[in-house]
Every structure is written in structure tokens, then in C-alpha cells.
Structure 1
Amino acid sequence: MSADRQHRLALILLIVGAVLISASGIYVKLSETGPTSTGFYRMFLSMPVYWIVLLIEARQRRSSSKLAPARPISRRGWGALWISGFFLATDLIAWHWAMKYISVAAATLLACTAPIWVALLGFLFLGERFSAKFLAGLAVSIAGVSLLILGGSRGLTVHDGLGVVLGILAAVSYAFYLRGVKAARDTLRVSQVMFWNAVIASAILAPIALATEAALVPQTIAGWGAVLGLAMTSQVIGQGLIGWSMAHLSAAFSSVTLLLTPVASAILAWITLGETLTALQIGGGVAVLVGIILAKPAARQAVVGPEGAEDAATPSKGVAA
């Protein structure tokens, strides 16, 4: 597959992944367990699916002479996995708790200030430099996010202070998670990254849930349906598509494109939870779309791996977006 086609496919799958994970807030609201327990089920229930995928890949490698044997995970790969897994757990804790204090849309939108932190991390620590076009797109998208927050039927008040702090913590954590996934995808397949992220995050979430929450187990079929839907839709499919795409797109542009998540989340919250959409929020959603179009890098700037590189990309340098 050519680099241009691979880039277009990655962008399409990233958008699909963003739309799918937008349903996360609905599942969390419907969950019968505590916020941290809900995050644990999201990761733990996704592990068997990833494990099956790993087994299928291993069988394909044994039966095909065209596929090289799987290489052991390097020290750098493990470091990236631990960073992404740890901060994914932190993100889930902060974001799920934030929705206990503020609306689904507000919590999601605050968490989606992550592109600012992704770009800042790249600028400060990875030597990435961003084009004026990308920065303009980022600014327009963040302005759209602000309209979505401020234009909602439930404005943020001083009583929402803890929810705001948790939302920002979720954003910073998700930025580190995306950077970790990007680093891991330089050398690892998406199935490896998603499986080990699930293992690491589950190991962190389980003891915290046991120590802080009483509602640990869903009590009804609907409750189990909520956590299972969260695991399959948002984690396995949604985050899986995002993880695959990030081998072929820059972390900064990916994070901006993921701002489609709050747009879709606000629409879903309006449909299922009655959280009304105002004219300002609709305008904010349009601004997010315009910002993503502006931030999209030219094809020659897209971060892609060499063709046939076993679904793993090479590290990016220079202008990131």
C-alpha cells in the first residue's frame, strides 16, 4: 500500500475510533459500579479479545514463510508500554470521577484539551516543531471545544471545581498515554500495545477500586451490558483503531482529530441523556471540524512507516504536523 493511501486509511480509521470512544461517557453513566471499577472492567474485559488476536497472529507467523518470527519486546518498547498503560489508568480514574461532578459533555471536553499537552510535550522534550497551519487548526479546534463547554445547558460553576481539576488531569494523562502509544507503535504491533496496556492498566485500577469503592460488581444484566459495551466498543474497537492509526500519523495531529470525540459525545448525550445542544455548542462542533481540516498535514509530512514494516512505523523527526 502506498504511503498516501496508508495515510488516508489511517485518518479514516482514526475518525471512526474517535466516534466509537465518544460513547464511553454514556456507558460510564449507565454503569452500576464505581468510576474506578468501571475503568477496570473496561480494560480487564478487553484483555481476552487482544489475547485471541495475539494467538491468531502467532499461528499465522508459524504457518507462513513470508512472515518473520516475532521479536522480543525491547527495553524501549517496555518503557513505552508502561508509560502508556500507567497514564491510561490515570486518565480513566480522573475522567470517570470527573463525570460524577459535571456533565458527560463537559467532562469529555475538558479531557480533550489533551492536544495542547501533546504538542507541548513534543515541543519541550522531543524537539518537534509545528507549522503555523497546524497551530491555527489547533487554536480553532480548542476554541470550538470552549464553545461546546460554555454553550451547554449546564454551565460550569464553582461547585464544579473538583470536576474541572479532574478533567484537566485526565487531559494531561491522555496526552502522556498518546505519546506512549506513539513510541510503542514505532516497534510493536497494535495488538501487542493494546494487550499490554490492558494488563498494566488493569493491574493499577484493580487495587485502587478495591480500596476506594463499595460498588465493585454490576448487579443486573444491564449493568454488565454497560461495562461489556464500554470494553468492546470504546476499548477494543475504538482504541484499537486509534492505536493502529498512530503508527501512520503524528501524535499531535492524531490528538487534534480526536477532538471529534467530544462533538460525537455531546450529540450522544443529547440523544440518550437529554443534555440539550445549544446554538453555541453546534457552532463549536463546526469549529472543531474546521480546525481538524486546518491541522491536517500535507501528505509528504505524514508520519508513516515503510511499506511492509509489519504494521509498525519509524520514529518521526522534524516538523510533526
Structure 2
Amino acid sequence: MAFTTAALILAVLAVSSSAPLIAFAAAPALAVAFWRNGLAFAALTPISAGPRRAEVRSLPATGGIFCVLAGIALAVHFATWMPAVKLGSVATATALVATQPVWQGLLAAALPGQTGPSRLSWAGIALAVVGVAWATGVDIGVSSQAVLSDVLAVIGAIAAAVYTAFGERARVRISTTTYTWTCYGTCAVLLLAVCLIARVPMTGYDKQTWLAILALVVGAQLLGHSMFNYALQKVPATTVSVLILLEVPGAALLAWLWLGQTPSTAALPGLAVLVAGVAVVILGARTTPAQVPVDAP
């Protein structure tokens, strides 16, 4: 149990570093998003080309389309949330993207044949909406850039919910490694195309920026959620899902200590209400909680 506890602590620290590293990197957000997924794809390729080669070849018959659709949604997630971190505050952007379970619940309620939110989850959704309104309302008085950041972060959360929905379908018959490799590859290709069309600089960054990108890949992208997935073997999924919410205060603390970003005092109560609402949504879920997403926001 001691090792599991250590794994959870490491995972929370790893995913909490994501937004501060994105804000720190002196590179365009879209380029950082591409390198984050492209390098993770490259790191997983030896496994997919070796031990998982047979499974990769069978993807067209086993639901590979869901891996591709998940990759498209993941590309939208990164293309919106990562610029949000650059445009606004780490604390607010991380809190807003953490509303993913709320959108998953609303998505389930809208789709036929899906189990909608329980009464407790609906209460949590309402609480989270109040928190979102509070936090974004404060930003309206700050700047239009801050509001744009909030909007992009919410879109990123919705895209993450769609990504998770497709991922659940894919992992019924496909291993997590093969699913992740296909998903990251699809995401990287789409982000590369966007970067090339928009003429986003892809290289020429300083050493610190490249180190930040590598830290994103090793930490949040590969190590963080790998530790969460390990912990799922020992700890209930609901507990792990709630623990992931520690990313919000963790990222805010790192941004304060490292980047000097002091969260708005007026926004803090709204962010607290938002996180509490998301926690209630998770705890009130009728069905077995989804696996921890393999991407880190």
C-alpha cells in the first residue's frame, strides 16, 4: 500500500506540473501540443511495433475507428486548452478544464441508451456551473483575453469528455498501450497540419523550452497517468478520479511558487465551488467510473 500511495503522490505532482510547464515554455501553445503528443507517440512506437504489432494490425477490425475519433477529440482538447493556459491564469484554466466529468455526465444524458447522471450528480453539475459562472464572471472584469482563455478552457473540457467517451468504446477490445499509441499519433498528425497551415514556428526554441516540453512528455503525458492507471489496481476508480482534482490546487501552487502567478482573490471561491461540484459529480456517478484518461491536461 505504501508503494501505491507513493505512486498516487507522484501522479498528482506530475499532472499538476502540466499547466505551469506549458505557461513557462517559450514556444507557441500549438507547437508545444504537437511536440507533447508527437514525442509521446515516438516513445510508444517500439512497443507498438514490437510486442503489440499483431494488435496494431488488427485495429481496423477491432474498433480502430474509435481510436482515431478519440485522437481527433484529443487534438481539439490540446488545441484549445493549451492556448488557454498561455492566455490566462494557470489556476483558472486548470480548474475549468477539470469540468470534464460534468460534460461527460451531460453527454450521457443527451445520448440514447446511455445512463444519465444521478440526482447527486445533477446537484454537482449545478454546483460546478455556479463555480464556472463565478470564475469567468470575475475574468470579465479583467480583460477580453482572460475571457477568451476561459472559453477555450471550457471547450477543451468538452473535447476531453468526447475523447474519453470514444476511448471507453475503443478500450473494450483494444489494450491501453495500442489505444494510446494510435490516439497520440492521430492527435500529433492533426496538430502538425494545423501548425504548418498556420505557419507556427516548430523549432528554434531555447534549451529551457525544450526541457519543459520533455518534462511534459515524461511527466504529465507518460508518467503521471501511468501511475494513476497502476493505482487503479489497488484503489477504487472513484477515489482516483477525485484525487485527480488535486491537480487544480497543485497547478495553482506551482504557478505561484515558480511563475509568480497569484490567483485572483475574487476568483478563488468560484474555483473552489467548481472543484467541489466536479467531485460531487464523480461521487454521484451511477455507473462504474471511466478509466483515468491517459492524457494529461
TM bucket (normalised to shorter chain) is 0.7 to 0.9
Which whole-Å CA distance do the structure 1 matches of 2:284 and 2:93 have between them?
32
2:130 aligned with 1:130, yes or no? no
For 1:88, the equivalent position in structure 2 comes to 74
Matched with 2:154 is: 168
Count of residue pairs the alignment pairs up:
285
Q: Say if 1:118 and 1:255, in contact at 8 Å, map to a contact too.
A: no
What secondary structure, in the 3-state scheme, does the structure 2 residue paired with 1:216 have? coil
TM-score by length of 2: 0.76
More displaced stretch, 11-20 vs 204-213? 11-20
Aligned counterparts of 1:156 and 1:17: Cα–Cα separation in 2: 33
- Give 2:205's aligned residue: 219
Distance change in 2, residues 1:95/1:292 (3 Å): closer
Letter in 2 for 1:236: L
Residue type matched to 1:131 in 2?
S
Which one of the candidate residues 162, 165, 170 is aligned to 1:184? 170
SS of aligned partner of 1:186 = coil
Show CA shifts across 1:194-248 (max 9, x none). Answer: 1111110111011211222443114322121011111111111234456678998
Corresponding position: 1:48 with 2:42: yes
Q: Which residue matches 1:28?
A: 22
Preserved CA contact (<8 Å) 1:98 1:163: yes
Distance 1:84 1:18 in 2: 24
Relative to structure 1, is the Cα distance of residues 299 and 117 closer, same or farther in structure 2, using a 3 angstrom cutoff? closer
CA distance in 1, matches of 2:40, 2:280: 35
Q: Which residue among 182, 198, 202 is the counterpart of 2:188?
A: 202
1:26-80 per-position Cα deviation (integer Å, ceiling 9, x unaligned): 1112223211110011011112332344467459xxxxxxxxx858235462122
**8 Å CA contact retained: 1:32, 1:219:** yes
The residue number in structure 2 matching 1:103 is 89
Which protein has the bigger helix share? 2
What is the RMSD of the two structures over their aligned residues, measured on CA atoms? 3.9
**Aligned residue type for 2:93:** A
Aligned to 2:252: 266
Equivalent pairs: percent with the same residue?
22
Amino acid at match of 2:41: M
**What one-letter code is carried by the residue in structure 2 that aligns with 1:181?**
G
* Deviation (angstroms), 1:190: 1.2
Give deviations 1:146-188, integer Å, cap 9, x for gaps. Answer: 6666679x96433434323322221211111111222222222
Rounded to whole Å, the distance in 2 between the matches of 1:70 and 1:183 is 16
For 2:44, give the aligned amino acid.
Y
Q: Is the 8 A contact 2:117 2:285 kept in 1?
A: no
Indicate the SS of the match to 1:46: helix
CA separation of 1:32/1:139 partners in 2, compared to 1, >3 Å: closer, same or farther? same
Q: Contact (CA 8 Å) 1:260, 1:289: kept in 2 or not?
A: no
- Counterpart in 1 of 2:294? none
Q: For each residue in 1:233-288, what CA deviation from the matched residue of structure 2 results, as whole angstroms up to 9, or x when unmatched?
A: 111123445667899858xx987664433222112211211122466666567656
Question: Which residue of the partner structure matches residue 314 of structure 1?
Answer: none
Q: Could you say what secondary structure the match of 2:59 adopts?
A: coil
Post-superposition offset of 1:297: 4.9
Structure number, greater radius of gyration = 1
Report if the CA contact (8 A) 1:98-1:167 is conserved.
yes
Residue 182 of structure 1 contacts residue 246 of structure 1 at CA under 8 Å; is this kept in 2?
Answer: no
